[in-house]
Amino acid sequence: MSGDLIVPDAAQGLVLFAHGSGSGRHSPRNRYVAGALNEAGLGTLLFDLLTPEEEADRANVFDIGLLAGRLLERTAWAREQPEAACLPIGYFGASTGAAAALWAAATPGNDVAAIVSRGGRPDLAGPRLAAVRAPTLLVVGGRDPVVMELNELAQERLAVESRITVVPGATHLFEEPGALDAVAGHATDWFRAHFPRAHPIM
């Protein structure tokens, strides 16, 4: 599957983007956030969780196990790249991609350092939530009450450091002026606070 890997010099970590609801690596919202993370010295990997043929079947969009499996494959690939091999890894998930990120993070042996969800559906990770060990930030729009409630229910099942951050006035897609800037700022702060310093390969 195609992907876009950007690793700035002296990057503090690498963030893999898990898109949701049929979106892909060309999502303007996630690319905007990725650009902000790059400017803050964090690497990013944007890729498609599904092929165009798979996206045609809407059931695949909500197959969280399938999406998480693809994310785990990309995580393993990223750890083999010379420019990213020594970097801590984080997940940025949107919509159903947030559930996939949490599902993948709960997999034994996957030492993801931090997770950020944007307008996500973490509730879809179901029983896997209790096994997540990565500090998790749930960013929700202040005018997205249904998703807010679902995030609150999911947070109750997390047994790890977590926080719900509300972007005032934002709806589900964070299309309002300044909303994505707020998301990018919160995500940057969360990843930089929870990524351990990378150790150079000797």
Q: Is residue 162 part of a domain?
A: yes
Q: Is residue 200 part of a domain?
A: no
Q: Which two tokens stand for residue 51?
A: 């092929």
Q: What is the bridge-based pairing of β-strands 136-141 and 114-118?
A: parallel
Residue with token string 């898990």: 18
Q: Is residue 163 part of a domain?
A: yes
Tens digits of per-residue pLDDT, 92-134? 999 999 999 999 999 999 999 999 999 999 999 999 999 999 9
Q: Is residue 199 part of a domain?
A: no
Q: What is the bridge-based pairing of β-strands 3-6 and 43-47?
A: antiparallel
The pLDDT of residue 193: 97
Q: Is residue 82 part of a domain?
A: yes
The pLDDT of residue 199: 45
Q: Which amino acid is located at 171 in the chain? A: T
The pLDDT of residue 59: 86
Residue among 49, 62, 54 nearest 21 (CA): 62
Q: Is residue 201 part of a domain?
A: no
Q: Is residue 202 part of a domain?
A: no
Q: In which domain, by residue range, is 58 found?
A: 3-194
CATH number for the domain harbouring residue 161: 3.40.50.1820
Q: Which amino acid is located at 96 in the chain? A: T
The pLDDT of residue 200: 43
Dist. CA 85–CA 77, nearest whole Å: 9
On the CB side of 100, how many CA atoms lie within 13 Å of its CA? 33
* % of the chain residues with pLDDT over 70: 94
Number of domains in the chain: 1
